[in-house]
Structure 1
């Protein structure tokens, strides 16, 4: 029985060996798909490419600033008296010369009429003396006296008219009137604050930056401002004034920017974040997802004539997912953006252009 089992085991071993030899022979007989004599080569790797873009990059410095109206005054009366009419509504816009407040002017009206009557009498007396002087029937002294009386009467009329006009408080410039606590019938004098008046058509923003940037400053430079009151807006303006002195305590220099404010979104006293643009330029740019770093080298993969190439580039600023290319890349280069983990320099690739307008930001799976 043991002999039979031994024979059967030997037959199994021989059969397995024969099978292995057959399979090996078949494999050796098949053509080598990757060998130089196999008759065909591996298919090129399919990749997508995008062109190099040209974008605007800027060098900026940040600061904090305080807004102020281009023109702002505290309105006060030039004379004391009782309020007879408040002619403005707080928060309303007024034009230059509009009457804002009227004081009791009955005495000034009477003085004006008296001055007008005096002027009429002086004009008549001077006309008589002028006629007599012309015919030689009056002395020069009488003529000069009449002329002096006429001039005094004209001056008194002007003074009475000015005093009457002081009973009307007018807007010195166009702007927005602030709140007031005054009521009709209240007594006011030159120390009584009536209201504020602000010209908000243009807002000025004062801020300071380090003196080290003084040589790079000039009027007309662009500024961008943001406010917590308007988190979704960016306000743009330009430098209008540069201070003539550096603050010795802070070693900073004060600047003033002007920002158009047609919609009155900004007002005086607001706190603003300021971004001053020192330099603007247009440079080649690529998506930051296609950039790889090897030590201190920055590398990208390009597709050229069906072959993948590696380019070492010098980069600059980053903005909104794009990286500035300072050097090392031609403007007509095609950047590989897919299958980056499978592409190596010198590999054959089949490049397909990706529509830059239709594409969304590169998905994570394309980065490599």
Structure 2
């Protein structure tokens, strides 16, 4: 009985082995007969060196050369308003007149007291000349006259404060003050800004400070005037670095003859630094950015392989790449600055190499490709908006 069972067990094992072998041969045949991946269509460009002007980019804020909220120093009732919202005014121009009737009356009283003291001093000097009074009386009269004149001058200054004038030339904002309104000290009357020229304040990292000098040229753009570039020059660099951000503040002066730029606006600032350099450049679409590094696909001729003994259709399907086809190889690159649609490539490539610019998602090392440059990615160093 035991011998019979062993024979049956051996037969089962042999059967299973035969079935496994048949299944393996069937799968191998299916894999061999499966169509191989055909060549992928991509667009490509030849990498070349171009002239590149290095620059620093930052976001800045427009600041008036001189700006102030015009206020009143003392309380008073508004008698007249001598401007309109948005007016251009000159330095010293009358803006607001507060009611000063009682202050003027008090000034007249103090001036009269000063005149009386002057008369008393003049009479006492005549008496002193004939030795009718002492020098002490003359000194007292002189002190009294100075005190009365000082009181009159103080009151005159109070009267002058009721007349509010423009501290400098500029453009007024919008006012909400009306005649008859009572103003307390410090109440805002109207804003006054000098905006031609205008400042732009921006920050740059401390590592870029060595390439920045006073007098360097810059250009700025603003989304309010997308197709307009405003030229300016660096006029001041802060004497300290912010310890929290390690950035340094920079101030530049920008011509604003049309008064398009207003204080408080943001601006994209580009500062030209150093001389022009030669860089290898590619469209930004050619770079694949990964956590482990930036890569590109370089195009090169496929390696020739020895002819296969098996020339059956299964081993050489019609859509398989032929000898001389192009293949791609993924390489790591180090990128530098960007400008518009372009990016500078510092390491990893050589001038004259062909690089894939679109279609990277369907590629891997050794994939055969066909170049079709009917549609090319943008490669403009100074692109402009396409919307009209």
Unaligned ranges ≥5, structure 2: 1-49, 283-297, 300-335, 342-388
Change (3 A) 1:250 1:319: closer
Pairing of 1:58-137 with structure 2 (within 5 A) = 58-137=53-132
Query: Partners in 1 of 2:132 and 2:51 — Cα distance?
Result: 90
1:185-237 deviation per Cα after TM superposition (whole angstroms, max 9, x unaligned): 11111142111111112211111111111122221111111111122221111
Query: Partners in 2 of 1:147 and 1:68 — Cα distance?
Result: 52
Partner of 1:205: 200
1:293-336 deviation per Cα after TM superposition (whole angstroms, max 9, x unaligned): xx99xxxxxxxxxxxxxxxxxxx999999xxxxxxxxxxxxxxx
Farther-moved stretch of structure 1 (143-152 vs 247-256): 247-256
Query: Partners in 2 of 1:115 and 1:56 — Cα distance?
Result: 78
Q: Is the 8 A contact 2:73 2:186 kept in 1?
A: no
What SS does the aligned partner of 1:279 have?
coil
What SS does the aligned partner of 1:63 have?
strand
1:26-53 deviation per Cα after TM superposition (whole angstroms, max 9, x unaligned): xxxxxxxxxxxxxxxxxxxxxxxxxxxx
Q: Is the 8 A contact 1:102 1:167 kept in 2?
A: yes
Partner of 2:318: none
Kindly state the Cα deviation for residue 130 of structure 1 after the two structures are TM-superposed.
Answer: 2.5
What SS does the aligned partner of 1:143 have?
helix
Say yes or no: does 1:270 pair with 2:265: yes
Query: Partners in 2 of 1:79 and 1:259 — Cα distance?
Result: 37
Query: Partners in 2 of 1:198 and 1:169 — Cα distance?
Result: 16
Query: Partners in 1 of 2:99 and 2:340 — Cα distance?
Result: 64
Say yes or no: does 1:255 pair with 2:271: no
Query: Partners in 2 of 1:318 and 1:276 — Cα distance?
Result: 14
Pairing of 1:295-310 with structure 2 (within 5 A) = none
Change (3 A) 1:248 1:139: same
Change (3 A) 1:135 1:56: farther
Partner of 2:152: 157
Pairing of 1:275-314 with structure 2 (within 5 A) = 275-281=270-276
Match of 2:209 among 211, 214, 222: 214
1:133-188 deviation per Cα after TM superposition (whole angstroms, max 9, x unaligned): 34433211110111011101110111111010111111111111111111111111
Query: Partners in 2 of 1:179 and 1:201 — Cα distance?
Result: 19
Unaligned ranges ≥5, structure 1: 1-54, 289-294, 297-315, 322-368
Pairing of 1:1-80 with structure 2 (within 5 A) = 58-80=53-75
Query: Partners in 2 of 1:271 and 1:217 — Cα distance?
Result: 21
What SS does the aligned partner of 2:53 have?
strand
What SS does the aligned partner of 1:275 have?
strand
Q: TM-score normalized by structure 2?
A: 0.57
Partner of 1:187: 182
Change (3 A) 1:318 1:146: closer
Partner of 1:225: 220
Q: Is the 8 A contact 1:85 1:103 kept in 2?
A: yes
Q: Is the 8 A contact 1:56 1:280 kept in 2?
A: no
Pairing of 1:311-322 with structure 2 (within 5 A) = none
Partner of 2:134: 139
Q: Is the 8 A contact 1:77 1:192 kept in 2?
A: yes
What SS does the aligned partner of 2:249 have?
strand
Q: TM-score normalized by structure 1?
A: 0.60
Kindly state the Cα deviation for residue 245 of structure 1 after the two structures are TM-superposed.
Answer: 2.2
Match of 1:168 among 150, 163, 185: 163
Change (3 A) 1:255 1:141: same
